[in-house]
Copies of this chain bind each other. A is one copy, B any other.
Amino acid sequence: MMLLYHLWLSPHCRKVRLMLGEKQLPFETRIQKTWDRDESFLALNPTGEVPVLVDEDGNRVCGSQPICEYLDEMYGDQPLIGTGAVMRAEVRRLIDWFDVKFNEEVGINLVEEKIMKRFLGLGEPSSSAVRAGGRNIHTHLGYIDWLAERRTWLAGEDLTLADLTAAAHLSCVDYIGDVPWDEHPEAKDWYARIKSRPSFRPILGDHIPGAPPPRHYADLDF
């Protein structure tokens, strides 16, 4: 069986979990505390970061986008990075949007400040970072509103890795209750559709000891 090294509230790891779920590939998970030095893990991935996937053949793949590209090439009945170079470019543009821009402007400011800092004993969250994250999330939800008004899924007619990536990032912020869903009805409707997919069930079951999610987090009718 495949083995995924991950962390619960890492959006990049959740993206891979969703991809594996959509591909209906069974996998085991192992939590890798990337803040502790672990020589055997560094031998697997010299950056020391998650996600890392070890395939059944023993192939190891590092990083969320390389892993998802690999899975889409290897297990390809229904491509999730889109069909044709032009569509794939659009899917990858949106993936970059969430993996880089959303992560920097929202995820790090909210999830890392409020959760990771506390767990690692790095002090109180910075109130200016939290305020910035809370402001910035509206731009991103507004962009999802805009896309969802024009397309069935974020990149076009079909569900793609762009949807899974956006939902992975939002799900981490939703775990701490910081997504203003009610102000963004189209984004909320899109997220409700993703949330009801079987691939999402394990994500909704995540429960970090000492930091439980709000009640609406796992609720399909939120």
* Chain A 58-77 residues near chain B, CB threshold 8 A: 59, 61-63, 65-67, 69-70, 73-74
- Assess whether A88 is in contact with B73, with CB atoms less than 8 Å apart: yes
CB-contact partner of A66 in B47, B59, B66, B92, under 8 A:
B92
Interface assignment of A145: CB less than 8 Å from any CB of chain B: no
Range of interface residues on A (Cβ < 8 Å): 20 to 34
Interface-facing stretch out of A16-24, A93-101, A114-122: A93-101
Copies, count: 2
- Give every chain B residue within 8 A of A59 (Cβ-Cβ): 86, 89
Interchain CB contact under 8 A, A46 and B92: no
Cβ–Cβ < 8 Å partners of A85 in chain B: 70, 73-74
Residues of A whose CB lies within 8 Å of any CB of B are 46-47, 59, 61-63, 65-67, 69-70, 73-74, 85-86, 88-89, 92-93, 96-97, 101, 143
